[in-house]
Amino acid sequence: MTTELSLTGADLDLDTLAGFEQARPHVTLSDAARQQMQTSVDTVRRVIDTERVCYGINTGFGALARKHISRNKLIQLQYNLVRSHACGVGETLPATVVRRIMLLKANSLAIGNSGIRPQVIDTMLALLNHDVLPVIPARGSVGASGDLAPLAHLALALIGEGEAHHQGRRLEGADVLSAARQKPVQLEAKEGLALLNGTQ
């Protein structure tokens, strides 16, 4: 097995996923993924600049999709989304599962269709590479709409408000990111939604 794994969003196969726990390669974003992601980030910024109505960027979510969000509240909208959905309960997922969630989430965002900056995924991969594993409760996903609650707990760790396990210790807040030599992510428009969408 390789000791390096570069994510493109297009070629992570089942054999690599199955062997990930044993191989534990150092995971990075490919240059192609970075370009793809930046293109979608630029699209989000154009939507904001032109004030075009676009779901999840300047509207509410779900039943509130017709609710327009003013430009000065777009960032707060993303934080509110993450915090409101971090409501999982029960036992925490085992480390092997959390590692795969992080790998699959990073890979899906590397496709470049979600409007999230590469540096957000760099932070997620830094946690993975340092084996700083967010505490994700096993119960709370709503299934058909995605793994909203579990992924919200992952997102909390990225913004300096979550918890993680590292070398037998349970870390909280900014200490989670410090263990991977990172600083809390400052979310931009649509990034909370991008982190929560999906079925990892």
| Residues assigned a catalytic role | 55
State the burial class of residue 131 (Cβ atoms within 10 Å of its Cβ: 0-12, 13-18, 19+).
middle
Q: Which H or E run includes 30?
A: none
Identify whether the C-beta of residue 99 lies closer than 8 Å to the C-beta of residue 28: no
Residues 74 and 190: their CA atoms lie apart, in Å, by 8
State the burial class of residue 100 (Cβ atoms within 10 Å of its Cβ: 0-12, 13-18, 19+).
middle
